[in-house]
Chain A
Amino acid sequence: MDPDLSNPAFWSRLQFGFTLTYHYLFPQLTMGLAWFLVYWKWRALRTGDEEYNKAVRFWAKIFGLNFAVGVVTGIPMEFQFGTNWAGFSRFAGGVIGQTLAMEGMFAFFLESAFVGALIWGESRLGPRYHFLAALAVALGSWISGFFILVTNAFMQHPVGYRVETGGLLGIANFIAYLLNPWALVQFAHNQMAALVTGAFVVTAVGAFYRLRGLHLTQARLYLRAGTLVALIASVLVAFPTGDQQAKMVGNHQPVTLAAMEGRFAGGTMAGVAVIGQPNVVARRLDNPIELPGALSFLAYGYFGSYVHGLDDYPSNIWPDNIELLYYSFHLMITLGAIFMVLMAYAGFQNWRGRLESSTWLLWVLMLAFPFPYIANTLGWMTAELGRQPWLVYGVFQTRDGYSKVVSSGNTIFTLIGFIGLYFVLGLLFVFLEGREIGRGPDERVVPSRREEHERPAA
């Protein structure tokens, strides 16, 4: 797309990208954290150990604020389909609207009805129903992720649709649309990545308390559960889910795979670049250090497989920001590898019984929590930049999808508004969550809303 700064489509893209990237910082934690709450609540039910309940109470507060910011920043996402992407909504609304609406009906209703009960309802509900509330919220958050990924998968690899009279899309096979193979692979990959974020945050808080010598029983709980889940999820995010995702891109978006790797010339024994800077004008990778044959093997299973290069395709269907796409993909992979090594080492130390006594490891674990957020964001940038120049891959281009009646002036105005509002929201969030973590899990009393609600109505 024309990167000209007066192009209205550019500003609509920037606004959607900015608001979506910001929004997704919150759900990725809630989707990961929700299963920790379910697990600890279940342990509390089984063992009667009050430490587990303490952990649930503490993390439910962290969860609650994340959830609230996720809700309020999520509503603008849905509305932007109409406000900024009217062309796309008109063209594909009959298809993608189905899953957007289903997300509301099947996921948000469930989550929002039970999240209050999870955070404030412990004494009122009793342990069994409190466990069910945690389970309902966890399921709701994953169902929500599923429907959004079906929607995105349709844009990446459209299936189950047909072009109807008037040239607009409609549903031809609803089951095929819902069970889009791209959606299933992407869902598995994305949910594992969310678990990585949740597990790193739990681990970091545990390491913080351990280093400060506070809440030591709780710190042990967080460190053990956090590092274990982080290790398993970091491995699963790469194999098989990330691997399958790359194969999916190789099969259905070969131009994108070439751009992700910065490969201009096609060929067999295609390598994976460890280092190198794409130079689109000169059509080459500058200063490359490659693992020969690795890409051929990863994408198609044989070292001798032919992998297409960008030169095999007309440049008007190249992703329109190859450099950013290349760096997003490579940094994501690099971070993913670091996560595996770090958590494997933490697991090893835990097995030796030294996790809580190796100070420098605790420091690294404490400071590592921002990186899964970065890796998740890079993964989504890879998916979305890689999809360009298409809104619906091979069917509908981004330049046809924006709202023709909305001027750049209006979009820049609202983008500035979002930047200001989200900056303040971010400060507020960091301040309050920091305060909550500073107060720690021991300070919390059992919520006593019970008495209030038990008085009969006058």
Chain B
Amino acid sequence: MIATWYAIVSFMLIVYVVLDGRNFGAGMLHWLVARTPEERRQVIAAIGPLWSWHEVWLVGFGGTLVAVFPRLMASAFAGYYLALFLILWSLILRGVSIEVGGHINDHLWQGFWDFVFVFSNFLLAILFGVAAGNLARGVPLDADGNFSMAFFTDFGVRGYVGLLDWYTVSIAIFAGVILAAHGATYLTLKTEGPVHDRSATWAKYLWAASVPLFVAISVASWVVVRRDLIVHAVHNPFCWLGVLIVAVSIIALVSGISAHGETRAFVGSNALLVGLLLAGAAAIYPVMLYSTLAPENSLTASAVAASRDTLVVASIWWPVGFALAVVYFIFISRRYVGKVSVRRDTQGFY
């Protein structure tokens, strides 16, 4: 039961990262792939109508986390206090920049909101990367399961760690590159004209750049920072499933990019993120929050889960809600299929 809920909560977070990751990526590349005001509107129009649909997955994740792992939510959110508020503020700025930029057809107005859009998406990609790094490395949990963390301490990965150290910063850089690549792949699929061509070029470079970074952070994760994880990981079939998905998606991605199969490349890009995050989530299980002070302080899923009866109640409504979400997803996919082009008349709507 607890393992299932761990899987569900991880799944919701993964869906959020995959869906909103494309927006972070498109945002980071905004100035690079779109040069004229019309092209910049085109990028916004490519992600515009759906950003709130993507963002509510984070809300769904947060709510589900409180319900089924209340003690984890309490400990982690209070501990990550300032980092979480930076994420919340960046999300506010990002949403506002998408929503209001197109309201006035004026280059000063749009230029300003384009800046906010790029800036907030950069910050979001980096902050979520840092958050992932913190989950993998662990946090200074005391014997009561509480922690409070500075932004940085000595940049080391043991003992009283800070939010930023050499390891979490490397993960953040990797996250930035791979989400940018994901966004570029999405824009290649979703746009035409010069934005499409530039996005396709950037996608190639960024995916190529992510390979050495991936090797580096894998070595850092498995060999330097959390050597204990590898033993867990090889015995967990879901880790192997993650690896398998990554392998298949790399094939899809490479063949998609080289053969101009834009849909195939984008599916590969999505699956690649799913595979990586699945392998990561499976590897750290059953620990949900690892203690850098003493391994016995770590919070396991069973220690932070709600009671069995509470989990049973959640098992009743969650599948219904999820089935409905799938229905909406099908509606959305049909509604927004096809490319967004440079057209003046998108100005008034984004």
| Residues on A facing B (Cβ under 8 Å) | 64-65, 67-69, 71-76, 78-79, 81-84, 86-87, 89-90, 92-98, 100-106, 108-110, 112-117, 119-121, 124-125, 164-165, 168, 170-172, 174, 403-407, 410, 413-414, 417, 421, 425, 428, 432, 435-436, 445, 447-449, 451-458
Contacts and interface: CB of A to CB of B under 8 A. Distances in A.
Given A94-B68, A101-B314, 20 more contacts: A71-B95, A74-B59, A75-B92, A76-B85, A79-B84, A79-B88, A82-B73, A93-B71, A106-B324, A109-B321, A112-B56, A113-B53, A113-B328, A405-B147, A413-B82, A435-B104, A447-B345, A447-B349, A457-B339, A458-B339
Enumerate the 4 nearest inter-chain pairs by beta-carbon distance, A residue then B residue, closest first: A93-B70, A82-B77, A105-B321, A97-B67
Contacts of B262: 457-458
**Majority SS of interface residues in chain B?**
helix
B259 interface: no
A410 B92 contact: no
Contacts of B341: 452, 455
Interface of B: 45, 48-50, 52-53, 55-56, 58-68, 70-71, 73-82, 84-85, 88-89, 91-93, 95-96, 99-100, 103-104, 146-148, 189, 192, 262-263, 306-307, 309-310, 313-314, 316-318, 321-322, 324-325, 328-329, 331-332, 335-341, 343, 345-346, 348-349
Contacts of B85: 76, 83, 414, 417
Contacts of A457: 189, 262-263, 337-339
Contact of A75 (B58, B146, B307, B328): B58
B71 A90 contact: yes
Nearest to B53: A112
Given A68-B96, A97-B67, A452-B343, A102 B317 contact: yes
Contact of B66 (A101, A410, A453): A101
B340 A432 contact: no
Contacts of B80: 83
A171 B75 contact: no
B99 A109 contact: no
Contacts of A413: 82
Contacts of B91: 72, 75
A452 B338 contact: yes
A68 B52 contact: yes
A417 B146 CA distance: 25
A110 B328 CA distance: 7
A89 B317 contact: no
A105 B263 contact: no
A90 B306 CA distance: 9
A71 B104 CA distance: 22
A96 B66 contact: yes
Contacts of A417: 85, 89
B78 A86 contact: yes
Given A104-B56, A113-B332, A117-B335, A170 B307 contact: yes
Contacts of B61: 104
Contact of B306 (A100, A170, A432): A170
A367 B262 CA distance: 54
Contacts of A114: 328
A87 B146 CA distance: 11
Contacts of B53: 109, 112-113, 116
B70 A89 contact: yes
Contact of A120 (B49, B55, B75, B324): B49
Contacts of A428: 96, 100
B161 to A, nearest CB: 15
A78 B349 contact: no
Given A86-B75, A105-B317, A174-B313, A97 B63 contact: yes
12 contacts: A71-B52, A82-B62, A93-B74, A96-B66, A97-B67, A97-B68, A101-B63, A109-B60, A110-B328, A432-B103, A454-B338, A455-B192
Given A98-B310, A98-B314, A109-B324, A453 B147 contact: no
Contacts of B339: 452, 455, 457-458
A452 B93 CA distance: 28
Nearest to A96: B66
Given A94-B310, A101-B60, A406 B74 contact: no
B325 A458 contact: no
A435 B317 CA distance: 43
B84 A406 contact: no
A90 B338 contact: no
A81 B74 CA distance: 8
Contacts of B52: 67-68, 71, 112, 115-116
B202 to A, nearest CB: 18
B262 to A, nearest CB: 7
A246 B147 CA distance: 43
A405 B62 CA distance: 20
A76 B87 CA distance: 10
Contact of A171 (B100, B310, B337, B345): B310
Nearest to A116: B49
B109 to A, nearest CB: 10
Contacts of A74: 59
Contact of B70 (A67, A97, A105, A404): A97
Contacts of B74: 82, 86-87, 89-90, 93, 403
Given A87-B74, A93-B70, A105 B60 contact: yes
